[in-house]
Structure 1
C-alpha cells in the first residue's frame, strides 16, 4: 500500500504579495525636524512613514482644522436659510389672504409695502451669497498646504 504524501506545511503567516523590503534613512537637524513635525501634525496622518511617502511622491495632503468661527458661521447660515424658506411660505399665504379678505385698493397698498420688504430681503440675500462665496474661497485656500512653503 502506498501512502499519499501530504504537502509539507511549515506554518506561520502567509507571505505578502508585495512586500516592502527597501528601507531608507535620513538625518535632520533641529530646525528641519521641527518643521517636519509641524507639517506632520497638520497633515493628520497617523503614521510618519505614510506622510513621508506621500510628500516624496508629490501627493498633496489636506490639513483639517476646525475653526470655531467658521462652524458658527455655517450654523447661522443654515438657520438663516431655514428662516428664508419659512418667509417664502408665509409670503404666499399672506398674498392669498390679502386677495381674499381685503378690497382691491387696500390689498394693492398692502402688497406694495410687502413688495418693498421683499426687495430689502433680496438685497440681504445677495449680501449673504457674496459673503458665503468669500467664505468658501478662503476655506478652499486654507484647506491644502504644501511642503514647499
Structure 2
C-alpha cells in the first residue's frame, strides 16, 4: 500500500502556486494539502452554496390593501356598497406587488378577499334588481 502524507498548511503561509482544487477542508481541523497524483481529482466542481434570500418585506401599502379588501368583504355582507372597497383593495394590492415587490402571499390575499367582496356585492345588486322587477304595477 502507498503511504499517504499530509501536512498542515497555514493559510497565511500558503504558496501562491498552490491550486485550490487540491485542498480538503476538514471542519474539525485546519485545511490539509493532499497530493493530487495520489488521489487524482478529489473534489469535483462543486455547485455554489445555496444562497438564502431575504424574504420580501410586508410593506404598509400591502397591509393597507388587505385592510381595504377586508373592509369591503365585511361591508358587502350587509349590502352592495362593499364592492368599491374590494376593488380598491385589489388595485392597491397590484400596485404593492408591482412597484414595491411586497410579499406575494399578502398581495394574493388582497386579490382573493377583494374578489369575494365584489362577488357578494354583485349578488346584492342582482337580488335588488330582481326584487325591483317584481314591483311592476298591475295592468
Q: Is the TM-score greater than 0.5? A: no
TM range, smaller chain: 0.3 to 0.5
Q: TM-score, normalised by structure 2?
A: 0.35
| Larger relative contact order (CA 8 Å, sep ≥ 6) | 1
Q: TM-score, normalised by structure 1?
A: 0.33
